[in-house]
Amino acid sequence: METLEQSEKIIAERYRIIGKLGQGGVGITYAAVDLNSNQKVALKALSLRLTTEWKKIELFEREAKTLSGLNHPGIPRYIDYFQVDTSQDRCFYIAQQLAPGKSLAQWIENGWKPNEAQVRHIASKVLEILAYLQSLLPATIHRDIKPQNIILQKNGLVFLVDFGAVQNTYHHTVTGGSTVVGTYGYMAPEQFRGKAVLSTDLYGLGTTLLFLLTQKFPSDLPRQKQKIKFRDRVSISPEFADWLEKIIEPASEDRFHSAKDALSALRGEQPKGINPEKMFKRSPQSRITLIDAKWWLFINIYPARFPRKPTVVFQFIYQSYKVLPPFFLILVFFDLILGLIVVPSDGPFSLFGYTVADGLAKFFHLFVFRSIQAVIIFTVFYALMCLCWIAYYLFTRPIQISPQDIQRVKLSGIHLPLLKKSITFCRIRAQSRNYCFGLFLPQAEKEWLVGELSDCLSKLK
């Protein structure tokens, strides 16, 4: 992407460009002066004319929206988002507080060789920022942690910048995937599959710390079964090496499951709560994913076109609605024919034993009556079908809940007198409301899910 703006150019009659800070996959960032406050700002620009992918525009707008809702001393303050139209182009801009200092990449280029204490300090500060992002609802994933996006001041202050690849867990969970973004060498393996979880940013931080310690790009370090081998290239304590080993595990479930847990382990604190090794769980039939993020539980039930083993009443309604239209057409046809020939008549101009006038009256009467009857029955069955589908999706929707709010987890039942049986569903009793789900799941999966949730609850007590 070519340079969009020249030095000293004024944008939107407010921002004066004073230099170029950097260029990434989504836009170019300039240093500018806010003429209203006379403060230096970072002005990120994206040209519609020079953009070949609409996805970049979507990521740019998502970055602006995310930044507008963040409030942390380690994240430069959001100022404005606007666009400028010209006769040849449309440019989008994000104005943000300019983080003083240099990126970790610039520090290394200038010959800086940090020791273990300095690297630990950077890790601690970045983890504090990530813990804040993961505490949001929904949790926010940066997805591009690397030396270029971490700013370090001489006094030790650390800033995290460039949220152009940001993603939230709710969006990813519901849609089931996303575009592959990130920087090669610092990307967690799951990012190559278009996925991102809370521990994804931890992998990027781990490889960034290895870059500081080894002065080499992570892609240049030896690997064994996808895992980076670094111990013979660094001079650090065994405890810190073990911590780094865990944070760069290729499998996301083998890392610390959150920034808060990684920070606790770095400080030598004993992690509390749920076992990080059991963060992601699949039901026996793989229709349920239970994501235990310590502060939040995510329960996803993947529906089929219709329940695999629906109850008899719902199956009857579903099948009946498909055969009712042809059945009623046949019924009306034979009813009209039989109704016209049942009673004979001796009068002239008779048809099937009826006079023409009586036959037409009989025909009209039967046709109207059957039509009204069909409309009523169709309406009733359609309403029942709608209720079935509403109930189905209501009981298979994704659920997100704080484990601390859970008071009780159990299987509840609905008794059906006509069928002389009961159907069960999962129920979570929380402080604010009750959550009912899993009505159409097989009994084994319901019992598995309630057991897992009860286990999570017992570990918090």
**Which range has the worst mean pLDDT, 78-92, 226-240, 359-373?**
359-373
CATH number, residue 208? 1.10.510.10
pLDDT for 364 equals: 64
Assess whether 259 and 127 both reside in one domain: yes
Asked if 91 and 121 sit in the same domain, the reply is no
Mean pLDDT, residues 344-363: 50
- Tell me the two tokens of residue 419: 């069928």
The separation between CA 396 and the C-alpha centre of its own chain, rounded to angstroms, equals 16
Using DSSP's 3-state secondary structure scheme, residue 299 falls into strand
Q: How confident is the model at residue 441 (pLDDT cuts 50, 70, 90)?
A: confident
**pLDDT at residue number 63:** 84
- Give the whole-angstrom CA distance, residue 449 versus residue 399: 13
Helix-helix angle 200-214:238-247, to 10 degrees: 140
112 in the same domain as 239: yes
Q: Are strands 434-437 and 421-430 parallel, antiparallel or unpaired?
A: antiparallel
Q: How far is CA 460 from the centre of its chain?
A: 25
Question: Which among 318, 314, 315, 283 is positioned nearest to 301, based on CA atoms?
Answer: 283
Confidence category of residue 319, pLDDT binned at 50, 70, 90: low
Query: Please, which pLDDT band fits residue 21 given cuts at 50, 70 and 90?
Result: confident
Distance, first Cα to last Cα, the chain: 55
Do 106 and 237 belong to one domain? yes
Residues forming the active site: 144
User: Is 91 in the same domain as 204?
Assistant: no
pLDDT digits (tens, 9 = 90+) for 80-135: 999 998 888 889 999 999 988 899 999 999 999 999 999 999 999 999 999 999 88
Q: Are residues 124 and 83 part of one domain?
A: no
CA atoms within 13 A on the CB side of 91: 19
The amino acid at 380: V
pLDDT at residue 230 tops 90: yes
Count of residues in the chain: 461
Q: What is the pTM of this model?
A: 0.56
Task: Report how many domains make up the chain.
Answer: 3
The proportion of the chain whose per-residue pLDDT surpasses 70, expressed as a percent, equals 62
Please classify residue 422 by burial: count the beta carbons closer than 10 Å to its beta carbon, then call 0-12 exposed, 13-18 middle and 19+ buried.
exposed
**Domain-embedded: residue 420:** no
Q: Tell whether 91 and 176 lie within a shared domain.
A: no
Confidence of residue 347 (pLDDT cuts 50, 70, 90): very low
Burial 296-307 (b: 16+ CB within 10 A, else e): bbbbbbeeeeeb
CA nearest neighbour of 440 among 382, 389, 376, 386? 389
The answer on 234 and 255 residing in a single domain is yes
pLDDT, mean of residues 453-459: 71
Supply the range of the domain harboring residue 88: 10-97
Per-residue pLDDT tens over the stretch 164-221: 766 654 333 333 344 555 577 898 888 888 888 888 999 999 999 999 999 999 989 9
Which one of 364, 394, 424 terminates a domain? 394
CA-to-CA distance for 426 and 311, rounded, in angstroms?
Answer: 16
For the cut 70, the answer to whether the pLDDT of residue 338 exceeds it is no
State which of 74, 97, 120 marks the end of a domain. Answer: 97
- CA–CA gap between residue 145 and residue 207 (Å, rounded): 9
116 and 79 part of one domain? no
Position 439 in a domain: no
221: tokens are 């370090």
In 3D space, the residue among 160, 47, 142, 44 whose CA is nearest the CA of residue 95 turns out to be 44
